[in-house]
């Protein structure tokens, strides 16, 4: 299995407990009653697509998490949505077919992960014993060195010498002070080793606990959330091509919007397609129509929704209150989702997302519609710093024609 940062830092957890944390993390998904249920069903298909990519790349942990989220969402949580009964029967039927495909795959993956976790834990225990043996060997070598040094000391009247009392080793381990020529320093644990977030070396440290106790575990959610956002690769052609396609609307002071879709590859989201749906625009808003056309195109090309793009014909690049509410469902379903705003009058383009620790929750709880004031402190949105712009291929589908 390709090891990621998450799997490296959890190697010291017993296999069953580690699997339990993965399951608990994956089950912590909630349904927002203000997000249309059709969006959840669309997101579910994309969730399975991403899980399949992870599985093919050997990233079984992330694949299993997404399969579990999909099952939790559509076996349990989606029924809590107040508009669940409005979902067309054919959509529910397609979803059930996908569940029948995912369930056995997830069960086999669970057993595979358990075997991998057992191997990881056994390797961890071997390394831990090796470190403890090396520490004991150092203690014995230093003890012998002190005995040799004491025999070589010159003899003289007892009154001329003061005998220093050497403290007992803590936890039975003695470590010499390499920066001193004295007799040594007692420390309670092994020297610092590379943190798994800073190095590719997977090397355990000696935990400071009683040897008779099991290694303690840290919350999976805490560890996973420290590195949750995957990079989003944006082809450099997106912005100039979109502004060119929107030019006729821009000249009339009408906003234009588009959908950014693509694929997951090697744990980064790559925008490969820009879709311009049928839409209705005004000077400060844009609404898509005929969304089924978008869905059909994405299904045909196996695409994941990664964000959206729109123009501000006469204003600068920012997210208005309406923009914030438009973007919220995208980011609730895909944490990395971005909003690109093109301001041709000011020759400015910016990439935004809602602040995950405040803005996302605030906007999802806001029931106001249309343009309305929001507090600005703390900020509700920020520049998306997980975006990478590269000279990559791009396909455009203009459904307005």
Q: Chunk the chain into consecutive blocks of 10 residues (it has 401) and report each block's average pLDDT, rounded to whole numbers.
A: 51 85 86 87 91 92 93 93 93 94 95 91 89 89 83 59 44 40 37 34 33 34 52 97 97 97 94 97 92 91 96 96 93 93 96 95 88 91 96 96 81
Q: Quick one: 143 and 212 in the same domain?
A: yes
DSSP 294-346: HHHHHHHHT-EEEEEEEE-SSS-S---HHHHHHHHHHHHH-TT-EEEEEEGGG
Report the CATH number at residue 347.
Answer: 3.40.140.10
Q: Tell me what pLDDT residue 156 has.
A: 55
- Residue 190: which of 216, 208, 167 has the closest Cα? 208
Cα angle: 310, vertex 312, 263; to 5 degrees: 15
Q: Tell me what pLDDT residue 210 has.
A: 36
Q: Quick one: 214 and 299 in the same domain?
A: no
CB of 355 within 8 A of CB of 384?
Answer: no
Q: Tell me what pLDDT residue 151 has.
A: 75
DSSP 362-388: HHHH----SS-----SS-SEEE-TTEE
Classified as helix, coil or strand, 124 is: helix
Task: Check residue 32 and report its DSSP letter.
Answer: -
* Half-sphere exposure in the Cβ direction for 124 (13 Å, CA): 22
Q: Quick one: 258 and 372 in the same domain?
A: yes
Maximum Cα–Cα distance for the chain, whole Å? Answer: 105
Cα angle: 303, vertex 46, 239; to 5 degrees: 40
Partners of 173 in the β-ladder: 170
- CB 236: neighbour CB atoms within 10 A? 12
Q: Quick one: 15 and 87 in the same domain?
A: yes
Hey, what are 50's tokens? 């991403």
Q: Quick one: 46 and 154 in the same domain?
A: yes
Q: Quick one: 76 and 111 in the same domain?
A: yes
CB of 217 within 8 A of CB of 21?
Answer: yes
CB of 191 within 8 A of CB of 175?
Answer: yes
Q: Which domain, by its residues, includes 5?
A: 1-228
Helical (H) or strand (E) element with 263 = strand 257-265
Q: Quick one: 151 and 166 in the same domain?
A: yes
Q: Quick one: 201 and 281 in the same domain?
A: no
Phi, psi at 116, each rounded to 5°: -65, -45
The domain tally of the chain equals 2
Torsion angle of the four alpha carbons 109, 111, 117, 123, in this order, in degrees rounded to the nearest 10 = -120
- From 228, 245, 262, the end of a domain falls on 228
Q: Quick one: 305 and 218 in the same domain?
A: no
Q: Tell me what pLDDT residue 310 has.
A: 98
Q: Quick one: 216 and 247 in the same domain?
A: no
Q: Tell me what pLDDT residue 258 has.
A: 97
- From 185, 206, 228, the end of a domain falls on 228
Q: Quick one: 151 and 126 in the same domain?
A: yes
- CB 337: neighbour CB atoms within 10 A? 22
Q: Tell me what pLDDT residue 1 has.
A: 57
Dist. CA 297–CA 273, nearest whole Å: 10
**Residues 302, 303, 304, 305: is their CA dihedral positive or negative?**
negative
Q: Quick one: 353 and 205 in the same domain?
A: no
């Amino acid at each position: 299995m390709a090891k990621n940062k998450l799997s490296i830092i959890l190697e010291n957890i017993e296999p069953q407990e580690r699997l339990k944390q993965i399951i608990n993390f994956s089950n912590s998904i909630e349904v927002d009653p203000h997000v249309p249920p059709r969006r959840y069903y669309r997101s579910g298909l994309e969730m399975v697509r991403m899980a399949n990519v992870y599985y093919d790349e050997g990233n079984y942990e992330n694949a299993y998490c997404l399969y579990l989220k999909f099952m939790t969402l559509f076996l349990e949580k989606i029924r809590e949505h107040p508009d669940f009964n409005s979902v067309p029967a054919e959509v529910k039927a397609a979803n059930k077919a996908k569940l029948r495909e995912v369930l056995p795959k997830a069960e086999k993956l669970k057993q595979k992960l358990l075997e991998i976790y057992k191997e990881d834990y056994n390797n961890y225990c071997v390394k831990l014993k090796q470190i403890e043996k090396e520490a004991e060997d150092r203690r014995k070598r230093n003890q012998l060195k002190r005995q040799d040094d004491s025999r070589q000391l010159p003899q003289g009247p007892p009154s001329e010498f003061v005998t220093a009392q050497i403290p007992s080793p803590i936890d039975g381990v003695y470590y010499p002070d390499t920066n001193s020529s004295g007799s040594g320093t007692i420390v309670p644990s092994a020297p610092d080793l590379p943190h798994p977030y800073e190095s590719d070396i997977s090397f355990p440290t000696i935990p400071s606990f009683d040897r008779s106790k099991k290694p303690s575990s840290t919350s999976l959610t805490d560890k996973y959330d420290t590195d949750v956002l995957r990079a989003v690769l944006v082809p450099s052609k997106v912005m100039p091509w979109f502004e060119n396609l929107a030019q006729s609307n821009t000249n009339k002071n009408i906003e234009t919007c588009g959908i950014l879709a693509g694929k997951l590859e090697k744990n980064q989201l790559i925008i490969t397609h820009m879709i311009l749906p049928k839409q209705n625009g005004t000077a400060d808003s844009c609404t898509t129509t005929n969304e089924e056309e978008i869905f059909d195109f994405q299904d045909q090309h196996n695409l994941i929704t990664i964000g959206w793009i729109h123009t501000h014909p006469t204003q600068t690049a920012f997210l208005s209150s309406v923009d914030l509410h438009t973007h919220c469902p995208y980011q609730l379903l895909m944490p990395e989702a971005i909003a690109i705003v093109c301001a041709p009058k000011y020759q400015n383009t910016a990439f935004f997302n809602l602040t995950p620790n405040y803005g996302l929750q605030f906007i999802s709880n806001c029931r106001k519609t249309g343009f309305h004031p929001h507090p600005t402190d703390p900020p509700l949105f920020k520049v998306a710093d997980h975006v990478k712009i590269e000279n990559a291929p791009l396909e455009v589908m203009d459904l307005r024609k």
